[in-house]
Amino acid sequence: MQMKEEVRKVKLASPRMAASTGDTRDLALRMMGEALEREQEAVFAANRVDMEQAEADGVAAPILKRLKFDEGKLRDVVAGIRDLMGMKDPLFRKQLRRELDEGLTLERVSCPIGVIGVIFEARPDALVQISALCIKSGNCVILKGGSEARRTNKKLFEVIRAAVQKAGLPENCMMQLEERSEIRELLDCHGLVDLLIPRGSNAFVQYIMDNTKIPVMGHADGICHIYVDKDADLEKAVPIIVDAKTQYVSACNAVETLLVHRDIARALLPRLKAALDEKEVEIRGTEEVSAIIPCSAATDADDSTEYLDYILSVKIVGDVQEAIDHINYFGSHHMDSIVTENAQTAEQFMNLVDSAGVYQNCSTRFADGYRYGFGAEVGISTGKIHARGPVGLEGLLSYKYRLYGNGQIVGDYASGEKQFHFREL
């Protein structure tokens, strides 16, 4: 219950945060960047303790790499903060301005969502990026980072929160949870938290979605496809598939299933097999595939499995429509790519595949806020309600309608005494 009271303080701060000026929020970003540079030694020291503990606990190398917070990462996040400062204030933008009748003016103005809870992996730079995005967009934020980064996060949060308060933002515009057990309490804060953004494993995100009434933005799994059309350029197809599968095998935008047009299978598969062998990728194919290249046998389960591993399932299809139907049925609406030189086939694929990202002739791994030029991202959404795909500043906004009158009542319009005349201003 005590935590809920803390969350309520954040909620109460949110209207003032929403009404803060762009200058104050940019000042907060500047002071945040300066404070991080000034107190970097204390942050690095905390991170060294986290790293030692993680190593002693036998944490895997890729996780250690993300856990580390050093001069290089500090430079990157501070550069990211400066990029955000340079962007136009996303709040108070008039998205619509319409005269409904003489002296009755409607405006739609962008505003923050309110209080956003972000649960993220043990990556201290993520804490800084998420905080900066929320400050720029006028949102209050409740942060819960991976426990391996506990000490680093605690120090980072102290530094950032102090800087932000000094800049004049509301005292309770940021809050950090330190215990994993507090997540359960956070999930009960319906009405106080406006949006939850969980990042992490499929099972974890699903757990969050199943256990809260707070709207959740995120993605549970990422079963991404590449379809190699009969009009594909194989010089492009092979490197794209290898990159999409192996460049970062545990990413949600790595390819899991390859669909190949029957007419090009005999040309593509042997070349692809040679390239994937070099990266030690296991191919799981249908009978038709195994008649062309040696591979292990795919089962029905492979159609809906996110391997996050050096495994690729391969299937042969008769045409682009069969590929589209397969993707819409088995995919996770995250992102899917077609390799073809035929613009018409590409358009058909891109119009009919119901995913946040539809690509032609490039790797699935481009689905990322940084690579889209959003500066940073707070997550990826596979939902179609609100933001979709990589979520940057814009996905953290809502809007409100303002109506300015001089005494108008609805009765006069209902009786027909007055009429609306809509005029864009």
Candidates 61, 410, 416, 417; binder of a copy of itself (CB under 8 A) is 410
What is the CB neighbour count within 10 angstroms for residue 102?
11
10 near a copy of itself, rule: CB under 8 A:
no
Rounded to whole angstroms, the Cα distance separating 377 from 395 reads: 9
In the chain, the N- to C-terminal Cα span, in Å, equals 49
Q: Please give the residues from 184 up to 203 whose contact with a copy of itself meets the rule CB under 8 A.
A: 194-195
Candidates 106, 267, 275, 311; binder of a copy of itself (CB under 8 A) is 106
Candidates 197, 363, 377, 378; binder of a copy of itself (CB under 8 A) is 363
Select 122 or 196, whichever has its Cβ closest to a copy of itself: 196
Q: Is 146 helix (H, G, I), strand (E, B) or coil?
A: coil
Shortest distance (Å) from residue 414 CB to a copy of itself: 7
Shortest distance (Å) from residue 412 CB to a copy of itself: 8
Rounded to whole angstroms, the Cα distance separating 30 from 24 reads: 10
Alpha helices in 197-284 (DSSP H): 202-210, 234-246, 262-278
Select 250 or 404, whichever has its Cβ closest to a copy of itself: 404
The token duo for 133 is 């995005």
Binding mask 380-409 for a copy of itself (x = CB under 8 A): ---xxxx-xxx-------xxxxxxxxxxxx
Rounded to whole angstroms, the Cα distance separating 232 from 252 reads: 25
Candidates 14, 172, 313, 345; binder of a copy of itself (CB under 8 A) is 14
Select 41 or 210, whichever has its Cβ closest to a copy of itself: 210
Question: How big is the CA angle at 365 (ends 305 and 384), to the nearest 5 degrees?
Answer: 70
Select 43 or 367, whichever has its Cβ closest to a copy of itself: 367
Shortest distance (Å) from residue 346 CB to a copy of itself: 8
Shortest distance (Å) from residue 267 CB to a copy of itself: 17
Select 35 or 320, whichever has its Cβ closest to a copy of itself: 320
Contact between 85 and 75 (Cβ < 8 Å): no
Helix (H) or strand (E) holding 19: helix 2-19
Residues touching a copy of itself, count (CB under 8 A):
79
Q: Please give the residues from 149 up to 168 whose contact with a copy of itself meets the rule CB under 8 A.
A: none
98 near a copy of itself, rule: CB under 8 A:
yes
Residue type, 223: I
Rounded to whole angstroms, the Cα distance separating 203 from 313 reads: 22
Contact between 224 and 39 (Cβ < 8 Å): no
Q: Please give the residues from 228 up to 257 whose contact with a copy of itself meets the rule CB under 8 A.
A: 233, 235-236, 239-240, 242-244, 247-248
Alpha helices in 196-342 (DSSP H): 202-210, 234-246, 262-278, 287-290, 320-330
Contact between 121 and 200 (Cβ < 8 Å): yes
Shortest distance (Å) from residue 382 CB to a copy of itself: 11
Shortest distance (Å) from residue 332 CB to a copy of itself: 11
Binding mask 283-322 for a copy of itself (x = CB under 8 A): ----------------------------------------
Candidates 204, 207, 310, 413; binder of a copy of itself (CB under 8 A) is 413
Shortest distance (Å) from residue 157 CB to a copy of itself: 25
What is the CB neighbour count within 10 angstroms for residue 139?
27
| Residue-wise burial string across 38-54, b where 16 or more C-beta atoms lie within 10 A, e elsewhere | ebbeebbebbeebbeeb
Candidates 213, 262, 266, 279; binder of a copy of itself (CB under 8 A) is 213
